[in-house]
Amino acid sequence: MSKELEKTYNPQSIEERLYEKWMDKKYFHAEVDKSKKPFTIVMPPPNITGQLHMGHALDNTMQDILIRYKRMQGYSALWQPGTDHAAIATEVKVIDKLRSEGIQKEDLTREEFMKYAWEWKEEYGGRIVNQLKKLGSSADWDRERFTMDEGCSEAVLEVFIRLYEKGYIYKGSRIINWCPECQTSISDAEVVHEEQAGHFWHINYPVKDEPGRFVEIATTRPETMLGDTAVAVHPDDERYKDLVGKMLILPIVNREIPVVADSYVDKEFGTGCVKITPAHDPNDFEVGKRCGLNEINILNDDATINENGGKYEGMDRYEARKAIVKELEELGLLVKVADHSHNVGTHDRCKTTIEPMVKQQWFVKMDEMAKPAIEALKSGRLKFVPESFGKTYLHWLENIRDWCISRQLWWGHRIPAYYCEKCGEMVVAKEAPHTCPKCGCTHMVQDEDTLDTWFSSALWPFSTLGWPEKTPEMDYFYPTDVLVTGYDIIFFWVIRMVFSGIEQTGKEPFHTVLIHGLVRDSQGRKMSKSLGNGIDPLEVVEKFGADALRMTLITGNAPGNDMRFYWERVEASRNFANKVWNASRFIMMNLEKAEDQQAEVKNLTSADKWILSKVNTLTKDVTENLDKYELGIALQKVYDFIWEEFCDWYIEMVKPRLYSDTDETKAAAIWTLKTVLIQSLKLLHPYMPFITEEIFCNLQEEEESIMISKWPEYKPEWNFAGEENSVETIKEAVRSIRNVRTSMNVPPSKKAKVIVVSEDASVREIFENGRIFFATLGYASEVSVRADKAGIAEDAVSAVTAKAVIYMPFAELVDISKEMERLEKEKERLEKELSRSRGMLNNEKFVSRAPEDKIQAEKEKLAKYEQMMEQVQERLSQLKKQ
């Protein structure tokens, strides 16, 4: 017995209630169940400092669709959630909070600061998780993890020790990104490259012992010349071959530096001569290594000039720049200054321009670790959707540099390295050693640095399942299946998870990476605080409901492509929800009319079989689309079916049967309505979980929740090709009648006789059997079906279809001149179609290259247009005689 739905669909009244029900019933929880296949997705852990934005909403909606789909298919579907400690972001938040209370970080011990940091995490760290729940995210919250929880921290220590003992982790001096404001190294992921207007300063470097001869270089950062140790030219550049090996006099500093040959130099760019500052440029650093050059660091950690800068010591980097340019001008060595727009790296947190600097840091050697990650993609064990992103992945791996993993922060995983205060011996161990293994001293101090946040999140697919312990979850749910993420973090996170997973477990952490684009504003701009164009997903949920937001984010969405957010599209999604709600209410109000009756296939009409066949094909198509991660295509098919085929056509078709007390097929109609509605709701559920659950649970009592019900499967016995053809033929006729009436502004209340003429007996039979639909859908007062038009009034208006001509004696309603005008337009349209079709079939290139089925389809179109043209011309001829 079905219950009654509220008159009006109100998402605010159902969403929170249903989510609590799902949580209470533990529907999201996945268990190790050997009788089922596992399906696992790990949630990209949002930062505990995070506030839900549209990117999160899209990313998590896509994951939720996949996990709900697989859960309904009978998998033990685990969506593993958790949050990331977000080292720099969190430390900045904690420092700001302390500052507002009059406390400076510098006044605290590390232990005191960490106490405040953990308090902040407890107070604010769960905010984004609660926001994700508002979206309907069906993650297994019982298994929620945190990158600094006990288990994940144990995994981090284990991996660090393993890599160190294998020689893959080392401490050394290399070029890194340094933030002068935050006073820490930062990862490439935290560097934002901004296009800024700047200058190229062209400077002459005198050649030693050759008065009047100079080498002209151009630089965007004149202050770094204080650390130059060479000038490089291309080995094949004839202009400078005689200079290679000679010495130059570095202006202002008066240090002798060599001219070196290196293929890094672009002969065609600038003067073909490049100043080399190995301590302050990543490319120069590599040139310096190849050419055996010194590294001279000229900056303090706060970006002021250090003692290597001579008289500029203590000056801010930009102050020094101005002073150096002025001195070069006075020395006559400044050739020119040219405007130049270039990319400048800034720290995404504090917006400070970063400085590449050579510093003593901890690194992971990447040359060997990258190889199996490359092979994983090339072998096909790992794939990207879309495939094109595999090229991005390979390009980064094939050009990878050693990874700087140390950060000068307090919040995070502290590096497990200990130093003897007496002799300086270093020991890497999970716990602090009691005595120095070299000198026996008992005073050992731990390294002050913490690990890059990406180090722990690289272990996420297996650390969350209990690794390094041999847990049942690790054995069952790993490797995971699909990783869903934006294209902006392929390098920083995806690649690190792949090489970490292979190195530690011997297996790729997932087989598919599903890439999505960015959610942009309606003008196509990236949403940002600076532009003030960000849209809060929770505001959308508050106004229109989570289902409407989810549908909007997936409609038209193709893997890898950016999408634009329009409020109008959210309203359209809400309107669709209203349509589903109202149609369901109508069906449920009629169910009692056949409560004790069972439909039998023999009682199914052609309309019933048509809609069953349609929903059957839909099930097959949607399943195939979801298996290929074509989430947007699948949703569009479900939308089109429910709105058009089911609501606009089938429900209208069966109304006369529902309202009749004598129609023997009423029970079949009601059974079909309920059956198709349930199937449609199940196909829609992964996209719109709340409304589908509310309707489903009120519609039937056999199953307690749609989210644990069985996913529909294709049924060969529901394949009714003949009935599909019949109903589609009638639909085409009805559309033609409606179009004609609309073009003549005939209101639906004006009924008219409909006369269907077709020479084909099988077509006439279709219309004879479908008479009832013309009354309901075509506003017909009566229907006549015949083989010829004998006896039809000359002034009858016609609607031409591919298989029949429909006449309506509308003489008293119709302006004949308007009817002729309409037919002339139709004739003009058909002439264009005929010209196009004939042009294609007469084109030798098309006929010789196109697939046979495409050529055949075009021939069928041509025959159809020729037949329609003949009928239009005949009708025009008749009207002209009037």
List pLDDT tens digits, range 371-391: 999 999 999 999 999 999 999
Give me the pLDDT at residue 745, please: 64
Residue 35 lies in a domain: yes
Query: Any known ligand binding at 529?
Result: yes
One domain, residues 308 and 251: yes
Residue 807: domain span: 752-880
579, containing H or E segment: helix 567-590
* CATH number of 104's domain: 3.40.50.620
One domain, residues 108 and 195: no
- Give exposure, 338-347, as e/b (b: 16+ Cβ within 10 Å): eeeeeebbbb
C-alpha distances (whole Å) from 682 to each of 58, 554, 618, 862 are 21, 17, 12, 40
* CATH number of 822's domain: 1.10.287.380
The residues, ordered by sequence, that sit 6+ positions from 552 with a Cβ below 8 Å of its Cβ are: 540, 565, 569, 570, 572, 573
Quickly state the pLDDT bin for 20 (edges 50, 70, 90). Answer: very high
Residue 126 lies in a domain: yes
Q: What three-state secondary structure class fits 685?
A: coil
Query: What's the total number of domains in the chain?
Result: 4
Residue 397 lies in a domain: no
What is the token pair recorded at 683? Answer: 């196909």
Q: How far is Cα 670 from Cα 655, in angstroms, rounded to an integer? A: 10
List pLDDT tens digits, range 83-108: 999 998 899 999 999 999 999 999 99
C-alpha distances (whole Å) from 415 to each of 125, 169, 222, 451 are 23, 11, 37, 6
3-state helix, strand, coil in the chain (%, to 5): 50, 20, 35
- The residue among 672, 699, 719 that closes a domain is 719
Q: What three-state secondary structure class fits 708?
A: helix
> At residue 148, does pLDDT exceed 60?
yes
One domain, residues 199 and 150: no
Give me the pLDDT at residue 203, please: 96
One domain, residues 769 and 684: no
> At residue 55, does pLDDT exceed 60?
yes
pTM: 0.85
Average pLDDT (760-776) is: 87
Cβ(795)–Cβ(814) under 8 Å? Answer: yes
Q: Please, how many CA atoms are within 13 Å of residue 171, restricted to the half-sphere of its CB?
A: 15
One domain, residues 198 and 341: yes
Average pLDDT (219-235) is: 95
Residue 577 lies in a domain: yes
207, containing H or E segment: none
One domain, residues 149 and 206: no
Give me the pLDDT at residue 588, please: 94
What is the token pair recorded at 275? Answer: 């100043």
Across the beta sheet with 512-516, the strand order is: 76-80, 38-42, 482-486, 512-516, 383-385
Average pLDDT (241-262) is: 95
> At residue 144, does pLDDT exceed 70?
yes
One domain, residues 150 and 197: no
C-alpha distances (whole Å) from 871 to each of 271, 788, 795, 803, 806 are 76, 13, 15, 11, 11
> At residue 42, does pLDDT exceed 90?
yes
> At residue 811, does pLDDT exceed 70?
no
Out of 5-9, 13-17, 29-33, 232-236, least confident range: 5-9
What is the token pair recorded at 553? Answer: 């984010």
One domain, residues 335 and 464: no
Neighbours of 774 (CB within 10 A): 23
Q: How far is Cα 522 from Cα 319, in angstroms, rounded to an integer? A: 42
Give me the pLDDT at residue 268, please: 87
Give me the pLDDT at residue 374, please: 97
One domain, residues 705 and 759: no
* CATH number of 649's domain: 1.10.730.10
Give me the pLDDT at residue 678, please: 97
Cβ(206)–Cβ(251) under 8 Å? Answer: yes
- The residue among 356, 375, 394 that closes a domain is 356
Give me the pLDDT at residue 83, please: 96
* CATH number of 346's domain: 3.90.740.10
> At residue 866, does pLDDT exceed 90?
yes
Quickly state the pLDDT bin for 557 (edges 50, 70, 90). Answer: confident
Give me the pLDDT at residue 598, please: 56
Q: How far is Cα 60 from Cα 135, in angstroms, rounded to an integer? A: 8
Average pLDDT (714-726) is: 93
Residue 652 lies in a domain: yes
One domain, residues 692 and 768: no
One domain, residues 671 and 709: yes
* Beta bridge partner(s), residue 450: 407, 414
> At residue 14, does pLDDT exceed 80?
yes
Residue 551 lies in a domain: no
Residue with tokens 């390294």: 447
Q: pLDDT exceeding 90 applies to what percent of the chain?
A: 73
- Average pLDDT over the chain reads 92
Residue 166 lies in a domain: no
Give me the pLDDT at residue 602, please: 62
One domain, residues 260 and 340: yes
- The residue among 356, 375, 390 that closes a domain is 356
Residue 315 lies in a domain: yes
Give me the pLDDT at residue 600, please: 54
What is the token pair recorded at 482? Answer: 């699909």
Quickly state the pLDDT bin for 601 (edges 50, 70, 90). Answer: low
